[in-house]
Structure 1
Amino acid sequence: MNLVHTKRLKEEREKKGYSYADMSKLLGYKSPSTYMYIEKGKTIPKLDVIIAISKLFNKPTDYFFKI
């Protein structure tokens, strides 16, 4: 079961003009692939990261994540 609305996450990132590397830096990750796995629905981030992503895009958490 995919708990990430991957299409929405990708669309919002692209609207802002952010790359995977940009998102990784903004979220405190060392590797762009860490964020990429979230966006592709391969991994579920911790709650603090879910909140940070939602704040970054000014959307509620359930817009991106089925929590």
Structure 2
Amino acid sequence: MKDNNGVFTERLKDARKINRISFRKMAKMLGYKSPSSYMYIERGDVQPTIETINKISEILGQPVEYFFKLNVQESQTK
């Protein structure tokens, strides 16, 4: 599965449509004022915050890893 900027865009789009959630409704559920704010996430144009990633996964009923490729780097202290 190809990701766009860490977002599996087709999975995100398909899950939203299966749940019959419009851009406008999804944006409202996430606390955005404009539907385009969510649209940019779904297209992979912007990377959402961890909080938003968790909300999206909860709304669409899938684990975070299903929609987002997370690159967690271990911090090194010396």
Same fold flag (TM > 0.5): yes
Q: Describe the superposition over 1:10-30 as per-residue Cα deviations: whole angstroms up to 9, x where unpaired.
A: 000000111110100000001
Note if 1:55 corresponds to 2:58: yes
Q: How many pairs align?
A: 67
Q: Which runs of 5+ in 1 are unaligned?
A: none
CA distance in 2, matches of 1:58, 1:33: 22
C-alpha distance in structure 2 between counterparts of 1:58 and 1:12, whole Å = 9
Please identify the structure whose Cα radius of gyration is greater.
2
- Contact 2:5–2:46 under 8 Å retained in 1: no
Provide the residue aligned with 2:32 in structure 1: 29
TM-score by length of 1: 0.95
Compute the displacement of 1:43 (Å). 0.4
Deviation at 1:2, TM superposition (A): 2.2
Q: How big is each residue's C-alpha offset from its partner over 1:5-63, in whole Å with a ceiling of 9 and x where there is no partner?
A: 00000000000111110100000001000000000000010000000011111111010
In the alignment, structure 1 residue 14 sits paired with structure 2 residue 17: yes
User: How high is the sequence identity, in percent, across the aligned residues?
Assistant: 48
The runs of at least 4 aligned residues of structure 1 exceeding 6 Å deviation read none
Q: Gapped runs of 5+ residues in structure 2?
A: 71-78
Bigger relative contact order, structure 1 or 2, given CA contacts below 8 A and separation 6+?
Answer: 1
| Bigger fraction of residues in helix | 1
